[in-house]
Amino acid sequence: MSRKKSADTYAQPSLFDEPISLSDKDIKAQIEHLRAELHRHNRNYYVLNAPEISDQEFDAMMRELQELERANPQYFDPNSPTQRVGSDLGSGGFPTVRHERPMLSLGNTYNRAEVTEFYERIKDGLDGEPFQICCELKFDGLSISLLYEEGRLIRAVTRGDGVQGDDVTANVRTIRSVPLVLNSSDKVVNPWPARFEIRGEVLMPWDSFNNLNAERAEAEEPLFANPRNAASGSLKTKDSSVVAHRGLDAYLYFLLGSDIPTESHYQNMQTAKSWGFKVSEHTRLASSVDEIFEFIDYWDEARHRLPFAIDGIVLKVDSIAQQQKLGYTAKSPRWAIAYKYKAERARTRLLSVSYQVGRTGAVTPVANMEPVDLAGTVVRRASLHNEDIILGLDLRQGDYVYVEKAGEIIPQIVGVDKSARIESLKPAIEFPDHCPACGHELVRVEGEAAHYCPNEAGCPPQIKGKIEHFISRDAMNIGSLGPETVDDYYERGLIHNAADLYMLRLEDLAGTDLSREVSARKILAAIEQSKQASLDRVIFALGIRFVGKVVARLLSQHYHSLDALRTASQEDLGEVEGVGNIIAESVVRWFSDPDNLQFLERLRSFGVRMEEENQTVLSEKLKDKSIVISGTFQKHSREEYKNLIFLHGGKNASSISNKTSFILAGENMGPSKLEKAQKLGIPLMNEDEFLQLIETNT
């Protein structure tokens, strides 16, 4: 979905359209206006699925607000739409917050008879009063409690132990379906309490989950087993800029407070929906146990068509007064229960464990099993991930194992039928200590679960894997080549790394009798065309660990050339939005390897693009200079000044340090930056002085 139509009625003149001087009052008013409009458009897009403006218009408004907030830090607001990108300034751990009301867990059942018993207990407990049961989907995610005051998000806390949880407010602010500020126009129709709590589930939709695992597979990182683990792991990430790129979503399902709108749980959630919260449209009221089972049976099949994972159904007494009358046990409410669908499981025999070596050298064990039907597909193989999994299962060749589809997608072994184990079976399977492909001794980095083969230059699977990554669709997009062809060229000695592709000749590929001339010419044409690949594709193609498509694009947009990226320090890289310390360290490590630099120079010599298109450097007047931009400008936008710095050989830095050469300072420079510049003795330069320095009239 994209924001569909232009909305001229919402367009406001940009503060940067005219070189005018605005009062502090005008600037504050424009900031508040932009925030209100962006909050409204976020809700239209992510909650109502009814966008009113185009992506370009939305982005332009966001950029203007970012510029204003940078120049006027006194108006900082943690609930501003600009804060949804997250920050990499995570602390060593999350603060622990005590819940105002305990977050109790629900009693679970997989048994239909127990659902009937629950219904009868409710009937008995209410002494014959009529009641309804609210039937809801049980989202497979991470429970969250959101606190709002005067329509503004104040705090987001995980369930934790039910009494206290982790304060993950910064991360939750990056979830675009969570309203940061409620729309004041909604309050006229359905007023919200001055202070209330709303609870729900943070989850990862299937599309986000599949994209994340595809990126992790490409980087040869361990895959998340299911969307719940992915959502939980993402929300507990210290770097909220990483969380912002994970595509999390949130559904809310319970409203609490001293002044909630009605005595009906169902109606309260419909009201919360009108305030801007994302509430499931699949909730239903049931007046009998038969209607409950109709709901359960329908979603047992229909759940497979949802864009997110559910693992059951939640049943709640609808009346708040009746909920209070029924009360609680020590661990759970008496007025609610969760009916969980059984995961599909199959039993089969483990034939062997093989080991795959990927392009980063990671060695992954794979279980080879007798074919078994599971959730509609025939399963023969399942990843065992790492040595710890094998040890935990105590696997023996010939064991009968239980297999489930984690998240109904990825087959995994979840247990061993030890009652069927034959005593004469071989000892427990042991992870190899040498690479199964090249024989080199494996290493295991402290803090990581995977074993790696460090023989990058001499391990065939790593070499071929890097070439296959280089030619892939999202990298250099040499579509005429495939894994089989790469393997053939490697075995014939035609290529030893991806740069050798640009040395291939027609006679190498067409055969002595030219019988493959047509396909050979097609391959050579695709290789030639790849030289024009955009910079972000080239960065991605290099195969730097942890640098996926999104990060490659961020680095391309920030540095504009591979030369600028190559000379960036870990500190500078860590300041790029969306690039945390782990990625920064990996990039610096890659560019510090002489073999990688030689590979890069070979690509350059063959004509592969090393900079953004139409970004020819005009001069070296700013060579080796690190420049910070702060404030607002009259003659050019900040982005235009960033580009001018790049075109004249300089480097843009986002924060001031003792390595900063000077600050290009506009009006309303942030006071904190000014104070730091004065403390470090960093010179300031206005835009006229800067333009004179580079001697340009643009």
Domain regions of the chain by residue span: 8-76, 98-340, 343-451, 460-532, 616-698
CA 384 from chain center: how many Å?
24
Amino acid at 619: S
Cβ count near 477 (within 10 Å): 14
**Phi and psi dihedrals of 144, rounded to 5?**
-140, 145
Could you say which architecture CATH assigns to the domain 343-451?
Beta Barrel (2.40)
CA 10 from chain center: how many Å?
31
With CA atoms as reference, report the closest residue to 664 among 675, 672, 653. Answer: 653
Domain 8-76 identical in fold to domain 460-532: no
Q: For residue 245, is pLDDT > 60?
A: yes
Positions of E strands within 541-665: 626-630, 651-653, 662-665
Candidate ranges 245-254, 324-333, 548-557, 605-614; pick with highest mean pLDDT: 245-254
pLDDT tens per residue across span 40-80: 887 776 566 566 776 567 767 887 888 888 888 888 888 88
Lowest model confidence (mean pLDDT) among 99-108, 213-222, 538-547: 213-222
Tokens representing 694? 């580079």
Lowest model confidence (mean pLDDT) among 11-20, 620-629, 651-660: 11-20
pLDDT of residue 646: 78
Report domain 460-532's class.
Answer: mainly alpha
What is the C-alpha to C-alpha distance for residues 515 and 639, in angstroms, rounded to an integer? 53
105 band by pLDDT with thresholds 50, 70 and 90: confident
11 band by pLDDT with thresholds 50, 70 and 90: very low
Could you say which architecture CATH assigns to the domain 98-340?
2-Layer Sandwich (3.30)
Average pLDDT over residues 515-538: 92
With CA atoms as reference, report the closest residue to 428 among 399, 404, 453. Answer: 399
With CA atoms as reference, report the closest residue to 523 among 479, 491, 488. Answer: 479
In which order are the strands placed within the sheet that holds 651-653? Answer: 651-653, 626-630, 662-665, 684-685
With CA atoms as reference, report the closest residue to 524 among 552, 494, 549. Answer: 494
270 band by pLDDT with thresholds 50, 70 and 90: very high
Q: For residue 294, is pLDDT > 50?
A: yes
Residue with tokens 């009868």: 120
In which order are the strands placed within the sheet that holds 284-286? Answer: 108-109, 336-340, 310-317, 133-139, 284-286
Lowest model confidence (mean pLDDT) among 373-377, 523-527, 541-545, 646-650: 373-377
pLDDT tens per residue across span 218-235: 776 777 877 888 898 888
Tokens representing 192? 């919200």
pLDDT of residue 496: 94
pLDDT of residue 5: 43
**CATH 1.10.1740.10, applies to 8-76:** no
405 or 693: whose pLDDT is higher? Answer: 693
Average pLDDT over residues 311-331: 92
Cβ count near 592 (within 10 Å): 10
pLDDT of residue 406: 57
What is the C-alpha to C-alpha distance for residues 190 and 274, in angstroms, rounded to an integer? 7
3-class DSSP assignment, residue 459: coil
Q: For residue 150, is pLDDT > 70?
A: yes
pLDDT of residue 4: 47
pLDDT of residue 252: 97
Which distant-in-sequence residues (6+ apart) come within 8 Å of 593 by Cβ?
none
Contact between 564 and 646 under an 8 Å Cβ cutoff? The reply is yes
Mean pLDDT (the chain) is 86
What is the C-alpha to C-alpha distance for residues 49 and 36, in angstroms, rounded to an integer? 18
Lowest model confidence (mean pLDDT) among 216-230, 463-477, 533-547: 216-230
Q: For residue 126, is pLDDT > 70?
A: yes
CA dihedral 649, 650, 652, 655 (to 10 degrees): 160
Average pLDDT over residues 243-259: 93
pLDDT of residue 697: 43
26 band by pLDDT with thresholds 50, 70 and 90: confident
pLDDT of residue 639: 66
10 or 62: whose pLDDT is higher? Answer: 62
Q: Among positive and negative, which fits the CA dihedral 442, 445, 446, 448?
A: negative
9 band by pLDDT with thresholds 50, 70 and 90: very low
Q: For residue 215, is pLDDT > 90?
A: no
pLDDT of residue 49: 52
**616-698 has which CATH code?**
3.40.50.10190
Which distant-in-sequence residues (6+ apart) come within 8 Å of 323 by Cβ?
265, 316, 317, 333, 335
605 band by pLDDT with thresholds 50, 70 and 90: very high
pLDDT of residue 46: 58
List residues with catalytic annotation.
138
Average pLDDT over residues 188-202: 90
pLDDT of residue 616: 62
Amino acid at 547: V
pLDDT of residue 504: 95
Instruction: Print the SS3 string covering 402-434.
Output: EEEEECCCEEEEEEECHHHCCCCCCCCCCCCCE
Average pLDDT over residues 368-374: 91
CA distances 140 to 200, 205, 229, 240, 341, Å, are 11, 10, 9, 22, 11
What is the C-alpha to C-alpha distance for residues 158 and 233, in angstroms, rounded to an integer? 12
Q: For residue 532, is pLDDT > 60?
A: yes
pLDDT tens per residue across span 668-689: 777 777 888 888 999 999 988 9
Residue with tokens 């945390």: 580
Contact between 429 and 390 under an 8 Å Cβ cutoff? The reply is yes
pLDDT of residue 654: 67
Q: For residue 507, is pLDDT > 60?
A: yes
Lowest model confidence (mean pLDDT) among 87-96, 125-134, 170-179, 477-486: 87-96
What is the C-alpha to C-alpha distance for residues 281 and 265, in angstroms, rounded to an integer? 14
Tokens representing 334? 């008496």
What is the C-alpha to C-alpha distance for residues 413 and 418, in angstroms, rounded to an integer? 14
Cβ count near 425 (within 10 Å): 11
Contact between 629 and 687 under an 8 Å Cβ cutoff? The reply is no
pLDDT of residue 50: 66
Share of the chain above pLDDT 70, in %: 91
pLDDT of residue 18: 42
Average pLDDT over residues 2-8: 45
